[in-house]
Homo-oligomer: A and B are copies of this chain.
Amino acid sequence: MIKPTQLTFWFEFASPYSYLSAMRIRDLADRAGVAVIWQPFLLGPIFAAQGWDDSPFRLYPRKGAYMLRDMVRTARDYGLPYAQPDIFPQNGLLGARVALALRGAGHDPAAFVCSVYARQFAQNADISDPATIAAALGDAALPEDSTAEAWIARAQSPQIKQALRDAGTTADRLGLFGAPSFSTGDEIFWGDDRLEQALRYAQA
């Protein structure tokens, strides 16, 4: 049974709106007294199952142009930096596996995840580059004897690869179709706009 004061935060590193939620969820969840499970997943297989073979930002050019404008306005409203990266959408596979490796070893992945997002959406970094991931691991206050290289190696292990596939299976079972999503019990919420509502349901 999932405890009612837990909320699972489903994020995809390629997703700009997941960035907004990643940067906001710690403060909001602390104030709400809700524990957050940081759950990376990949949207590619989920989108393919809906019949979408590309980012929704690119599939529908008009909607995509709007979303970029909306991101700039909404990030500014939140007081967050936002700069559309040159590479978009990006490949978040390595970051997702490292986040799972951290969680699997009992570390809170939040600082790492937020650093990856900030590097991508504020500093124009390529997050498929292991050097970007290593730099983000450097921001994560990990034990001194654990190197970025060791985490990146661990992220390629069969166990971690399987854990990411399992996340996709669970996302599919829950009926997720986009990111960010939030789940508590059987309730799912889609979109950064629903973060506050999801926290209220997690409290209830």
Contacts and interface: CB of A to CB of B under 8 A. Distances in A.
Nearest to A194: B70
B197 A65 contact: no
A65 B188 CA distance: 11
B50 A175 contact: no
A175 B73 contact: no
A176 to B, nearest CB: 8
Query: In the complex this chain forms, how many copies of it are found?
Result: 2
Nearest to A77: B197
B70 A190 contact: yes
B194 A63 contact: no
Nearest to A74: B197
Contacts of A60: 50-51, 177
A193 interface: yes
A44 to B, nearest CB: 16
Interface string A40-66: 000000000011000000001011011
Given A77-B197, A197-B73, A188 B50 contact: no
Contact of A66 (B77, B175, B193): B175
A72 to B, nearest CB: 11
A177 B62 contact: yes
Contacts of A191: 193
Contact of A63 (B50, B70, B74, B77): B50
A114 to B, nearest CB: 23
Interface of A: 50-51, 60, 62-63, 65-66, 69-70, 73-74, 77, 175, 177-178, 188-191, 193-194, 197, 201
